[in-house]
Structure 1
């Protein structure tokens, strides 16, 4: 049986220009990665048209990336043990650039999907390892600063993606959605090589958990395809969705049992036995699911019911990044002197306030009222990832960091996908319900309805046209009430999540995540 080598001494923190360049390299890689998860969404009609396929086939451009990415993220710790942090991170960047180039050159949909599968797979370890490399580069008393810099790119990229993707599609051509990664990736790869090549982690030659890996691929792949295709196939009225759900559930049950008993598991599920990891991961994942679900719902509502273009809808959401970028470094500075649970609690209360403000929207909402909650949300966003990541990694040492970061990010990304599916489906259902309720009052026995029809008749409309106009108004109002329901529910869930934050017991400043920083370079 293969045995791990004796532990290596940790690398000293970076200083001066090396620290700046290393931080930029890691941040560019994360930005490129997260940007690519959303930049193609608005270009799907253009891509489908150019490749001569139906719109529903074009959605596999998103699904293929999401499935392979979701599978590879929790493998980060396992791959790190066998390849090393630096080698794995550099290989991820280089292969990401190569697959982006292949995506742009794709002459057919199958070729594009193959390139997207490769792109998603190699992108998986990038985000968890970026956390690990940053924590190992900073002195442990400045670990919170490292996390704040990391979180800024993670928060800004999903907002920038649709805006940049829409602009490129409208003004250049869709392949440049992928080509834009090439110069960014080359810079990140060169900087990573220069700064981190002498700071690799220890490699351990351990047996391959082929059964665990196979079960992971089956249950995660089935779950991700179910989430991406559920709405199109009308969920559990579809045999395909039922088969996918059962396959995922059964494979997941076997996966958990196998991984908890395997000597060298592909995913270290024992991390969930730690109070801080469990509480921090669940809180950040559900919170991110709400955040990401609303991030998808808002532009969809703006475009379908308020007549906004894709670019203008993206610009309405852009202000959320202003305070997030400005205040994240401040959060990083005060975190070592403050209980992270207080900061996370304040963040969740700000999120709840913003969603409550959005639940008061009407069909006549103006741009100022749309932008204000997002602007305020940026304040909460600045205190969202940093303290919760600090709590999640609190008390972990050495080679546990990549595994913990990979597993935590996997749960977060999965919840983001679930949030997207739940919000879009729930909006449809709530809209149908409200439409039925409003239609009950739209009849000849209602004097308000009769008056409205008469007024439209006085404007020259026929009775049929008047009824159509009333139905259109009811549909818009029903969609508004449906989206307001989801905003209101999001506010309530954020308040309830505060209890999860206080289940944790993070170590005081100077321990926890900072200790992780000191030992992550092993």
Structure 2
């Protein structure tokens, strides 16, 4: 990215206000990755679609954001960092309004894609501008501000989403972005314009971008609608699978031979990077799947409101906030691979604690594993990012960081799609097994002996089967998740121990 060497970092009140402005922007964008998680039930019910279809609201945003992240460097270099930031904020605000005004699943998914495309560059841009406006000796404080907003936003997301959906309407989880976006746009125009970077006439890998959108889009649509279309029994799914397969192969071939690729796949020649990114993708996909499934189960089977589902899931952030400043210090004394292994195994432990959940579990039985999980998250994210970026050459750091962010976000989206499908299938299997047993003569006779009419017996059996089959299905998902975490924790030892630290700020 071109940089005006005559620019002098901000000082005094201007630095404080600009730093808070960028922190608020980052907070808002990260918040939108989790604020809709506990509101899926409200959104699906309002639009007349299934809960599985409702999760498209989450996956569409994640996929669009992932696709746009690799473009951030090109956009900032071509149009200027501050200009790209302002245009992104304007688009984010407009699409937030459209999300809130949506009256159909198609409309809200399209608006969420637009929101993700505009919001994708904002997160790395806030980091870039914080490092630019802060004096070099204060870069640690700048990254501390950025990291804190990144960690705290997912904590407040479920709480805000649940409270707003229950107290007002799910539409307002998107409308609340508008005044924040307007404030950030106004603040950027008044404060950040002097920090604008020089523009360059940069070419863009158009073919690579088109192939990326095509194969990722086809893959995600296939995963989202596969279950409803009976997977490969439907020609539509077969076509989508072929498009994803052929498009992915062409994308890899093109990017490996393009002089200025949109995604630099050549960084995969480094063993440490491959292992770290693979571990990150699988572990994050498993982690994010639980983040989406738990609120659905709490609301759909246990009768939790969106607010209390948000409270139960938000406890994850408490441990993460406590441990985030401690883990970087431990990295100076211990092998980062050992810290990653410990962190992922800790996530596996928290998943095993959930295997014992039942339909009669109280609030603290549900919240405690969330809190336990939070303590392991910094051990997982921070050293793993360091291992990945330390494995590549200095000049490849930016490309490697962008690709890693892309794969992490895609992992979360794919994990969500696969887990919701597997969860629904597990419910169907458990239900079919339970119905046969509960409809046996002894069960029916016992209920009728307690004064139940035949209709009441059928209703009681139906309610019990629905509740218990979902409980069995969710615990099976947690057991599978714990196994994946153990495999991922073991895989990190295939990476060499990093011999250097990545540049300041890169690990974020």
Q: Is the 8 A contact 2:161 2:306 kept in 1?
A: no
Q: Is the 8 A contact 2:41 2:299 kept in 1?
A: no
Distance 1:143 1:415 in 2: 30
Distance 1:495 1:134 in 2: 37
| Equivalent residue, structure 2, for 1:281 | 277
| Equivalent residue, structure 1, for 2:468 | 477
Structure 1 residues 283-362: aligned runs within 5 Å: 283-362=279-358
Distance 1:142 1:352 in 2: 37
Q: Is the 8 A contact 1:155 1:321 kept in 2?
A: yes
Distance 1:479 1:336 in 2: 45
Identify the range of structure 1 (151-160 vs 27-36) with the bigger mean alpha-carbon deviation. 151-160
The DSSP-based 3-state class of the residue aligned with 2:478 is helix
Distance 1:95 1:406 in 2: 21
Following TM superposition, by how much is the alpha carbon of 1:110 offset from its aligned partner in structure 2, in angstroms? Answer: 7.3
| Equivalent residue, structure 2, for 1:208 | 204
| Equivalent residue, structure 2, for 1:125 | 121
Is 1:55 the counterpart of 2:49 in the alignment?
yes
Following TM superposition, by how much is the alpha carbon of 1:389 offset from its aligned partner in structure 2, in angstroms? Answer: 2.0
Identify the range of structure 1 (187-196 vs 251-260) with the bigger mean alpha-carbon deviation. 187-196
Q: Is the 8 A contact 2:448 2:454 kept in 1?
A: yes
Following TM superposition, by how much is the alpha carbon of 1:222 offset from its aligned partner in structure 2, in angstroms? Answer: 1.4
Following TM superposition, by how much is the alpha carbon of 1:308 offset from its aligned partner in structure 2, in angstroms? Answer: 1.5
TM-score, scaled relative to structure 1: 0.83
Find the partner of 1:512 among 499, 502, 507: 502
Identify the range of structure 1 (374-383 vs 289-298) with the bigger mean alpha-carbon deviation. 374-383
Structure 1 residues 18-37: aligned runs within 5 Å: 23-37=19-33
| Equivalent residue, structure 2, for 1:246 | 242
Distance 2:56 2:439 in 1: 44
Following TM superposition, by how much is the alpha carbon of 1:384 offset from its aligned partner in structure 2, in angstroms? Answer: 2.6
Find the partner of 2:427 among 417, 421, 431: 431
Identify the range of structure 1 (459-468 vs 413-422) with the bigger mean alpha-carbon deviation. 459-468
Q: Is the 8 A contact 2:40 2:55 kept in 1?
A: yes
Distance 1:138 1:363 in 2: 51
Is 1:385 the counterpart of 2:381 in the alignment?
yes
The DSSP-based 3-state class of the residue aligned with 1:55 is coil
| Equivalent residue, structure 1, for 2:178 | 182
Q: Using a 3 Å threshold, how does the CA distance of structure 1 residues 505 and 59 change in structure 2: closer, same or farther? A: closer
Q: Using a 3 Å threshold, how does the CA distance of structure 1 residues 128 and 405 change in structure 2: closer, same or farther? A: farther
Q: Using a 3 Å threshold, how does the CA distance of structure 1 residues 328 and 13 change in structure 2: closer, same or farther? A: farther
Find the partner of 2:390 among 394, 398, 403: 394
Q: Using a 3 Å threshold, how does the CA distance of structure 1 residues 405 and 47 change in structure 2: closer, same or farther? A: same
| Equivalent residue, structure 2, for 1:496 | 487
Q: Using a 3 Å threshold, how does the CA distance of structure 1 residues 125 and 101 change in structure 2: closer, same or farther? A: same
Distance 1:222 1:357 in 2: 36
Q: Is the 8 A contact 2:434 2:469 kept in 1?
A: yes
Distance 1:234 1:157 in 2: 37
Following TM superposition, by how much is the alpha carbon of 1:357 offset from its aligned partner in structure 2, in angstroms? Answer: 0.6
Identify the range of structure 1 (14-23 vs 397-406) with the bigger mean alpha-carbon deviation. 14-23
Find the partner of 1:266 among 262, 269, 272: 262
Find the partner of 2:370 among 368, 374, 380: 374
Distance 1:460 1:23 in 2: 68
Higher RCO (CA < 8 A, seq sep 6+):
1
Identify the range of structure 1 (307-316 vs 141-150) with the bigger mean alpha-carbon deviation. 141-150
Following TM superposition, by how much is the alpha carbon of 1:501 offset from its aligned partner in structure 2, in angstroms? Answer: 2.3
Q: Is the 8 A contact 1:46 1:169 kept in 2?
A: yes
Q: Is the 8 A contact 1:76 1:403 kept in 2?
A: no
Unaligned segments of structure 2, at least 5 residues: none
Q: Is the 8 A contact 2:9 2:135 kept in 1?
A: yes
Identify the range of structure 1 (409-418 vs 328-337) with the bigger mean alpha-carbon deviation. 328-337
Following TM superposition, by how much is the alpha carbon of 1:415 offset from its aligned partner in structure 2, in angstroms? Answer: 0.8
Distance 1:428 1:471 in 2: 17
Distance 2:444 2:282 in 1: 46
| Equivalent residue, structure 1, for 2:448 | 457
Distance 2:330 2:19 in 1: 20
Q: Is the 8 A contact 1:80 1:402 kept in 2?
A: no
Q: Using a 3 Å threshold, how does the CA distance of structure 1 residues 107 and 324 change in structure 2: closer, same or farther? A: same
